[in-house]
Every structure is written in structure tokens, then in C-alpha cells.
Homo-oligomer: A and B are copies of this chain.
Amino acid sequence: MTKQIATNITWQDGQVDREQREKNLGQKGCTVWLTGLSSSGKTTLAIALEQVLMQRGFLSYRLDGDNIRHGLNMNLGFSAEDREENIRRIGEVTKLFADAAIISITSFISPYQADRDHARKQHESAGIPFLEVYVDVPLEVAEERDPKGLYKKARAGEIKGFTGIDDPYEPPPAPELHLHTDTLTVVQCVQMLLDMLQEHGIISAEYVGSSIEHTNRVG
């Protein structure tokens, strides 16, 4: 196969910017920042949202403990300083994903308002939407769920500094979305997340409300 070369390739000075990437991809980049107690449902919702977005042809990416704590932040522990640096790095990385035109979804407890505010500032100073979602459940419900037995260990003193037990969780005073996961179903929560994305201009209305068959953008 003979390839044509020189005439095929043109470019201008300057870099591809976020607007061009968004146009190319047909969506807007943003960060959906889920925050809440352990066992509140953050990861469940993140996984469900990711799947529904993919069914509708959108590209999203989840950052969570699995791909951050064992990779980028493997050299951080649980001291106050390290917790802050943990959330700072996550904020920077999720901002890069949003800048790449991706719907970036983070599911970390992120208990301190100052850290979440810092992440918001990181984004908003670059004009990138930051959507804080409070995944809210009463502590007693989270403790009942406790699929990994973490609350039990924390109550027994085997884990120190556990959010909700001997370390505070600071509820967001003004999140973009407040989900009560003890009374809402996952389906309802995902619908509310899609509505939020539409309201903030991330995805258009046609992909939010009607059936998957009708709106499926995957080939």
C-alpha cells in the first residue's frame, strides 16, 4: 500500500483546546464529584452512571480507590497531610480528564469541605464545570450496610480515624445535587444525575429522558 504523505498532514500553530475536543466528541467535559460516608453508595452510583452514559454514547471515566490508591497515590498514607494531598492530586487528575472533554466521575469519601472547595477552585478557575454530589445516608444506615465490615472494625478501635466514627464528615452546604440514598433507588439517583448533567449543559436533553433504544449513540 502506497501512502501519500506530505499533503495529508496540516496543522496550525497552537494546541487543540478543550472546545475543539468537546466538539469532536459531542459532549462537554466536567467533573462529577461524589462525596459521602463509606457505604453511602458512591461507587454503586458511579458505576451505574458510567454504564448508562456509555449506553448513550458518552465517554466517562471513573477515578476511585482502586485505580488511584494503588497507582498515583500509592505513596500516600492516612495522615492529615497525606489525606489532603490525596484529594489534591485527585482534584488535579479529574480536572485533566474534564479538560480532555470527558465526564470524569470521582467516588471518594472526601470528608472535608476545604478539600472539596479546593478541588472546585482548581476546576472553576479553568472554566471547567465541577458538580458536587452529596451521597447522603444516615450514619446508622451506612453502618448497617457495611459490606466490608469497616465500621465494625472502626467501632472496635481496629481502624483509627474512620470517617463518621472518630473522624468528622463535613456535609456539603451547597452541592449541585443532594441524593438521599436511603430512600431513593439507584435508578432514581441515576436519573437525577443525568438531569443534573443536562441542566449544566454537559449532555443534551435528547439523551436524558427517552428510551435507551431511541437515544443509544453507540454504533
Binding site for B on A (CB under 8 A): 1-12, 14-16, 20-21, 23-26, 47-48, 50-52, 54-55, 57, 59-63, 67, 71-72, 75, 85, 89, 92-93, 95-97, 99-102, 122, 187-188, 190-191, 195, 205, 208-212, 218-219
Q: Which residue of B lies closest to A6 (CB)?
A: B187
Q: List 11 A-B contacts (CB under 8 A).
A: A8-B211, A9-B48, A9-B190, A10-B212, A11-B47, A15-B50, A23-B218, A25-B59, A61-B99, A71-B96, A100-B100
Are the CB atoms of B62 and A9 closer together than 8 Å? no
Are the CB atoms of A54 and B92 closer together than 8 Å? no
Are the CB atoms of A4 and B72 closer together than 8 Å? no
Are the CB atoms of B61 and A100 closer together than 8 Å? yes
Are the CB atoms of B67 and A96 closer together than 8 Å? yes
Question: Besides the contacts A24-B57, A71-B96, what 12 more A-B pairs have beta carbons closer than 8 Å?
Answer: A1-B205, A3-B209, A4-B210, A4-B211, A7-B211, A9-B52, A10-B55, A14-B47, A16-B50, A16-B62, A72-B96, A100-B102
Cα(A177)–Cα(B9), bound, Å? 19
Given A15-B62, A89-B72: A54 and B24 interface contact (C-beta under 8 Å): yes
Are the CB atoms of A1 and B209 closer together than 8 Å? yes
User: In the complex, what's the smallest C-beta–C-beta distance from A94 to chain B, in angstroms?
Assistant: 10
| A6 contact set on B, CB distance < 8 A | 187
| A218 contact set on B, CB distance < 8 A | 23-24
Given A21-B54, A71-B92, A89-B72: A8 and B212 interface contact (C-beta under 8 Å): yes
| A102 contact set on B, CB distance < 8 A | 100, 102
| A211 contact set on B, CB distance < 8 A | 4, 7-8
User: In the complex, what's the smallest C-beta–C-beta distance from A58 to chain B, in angstroms?
Assistant: 9
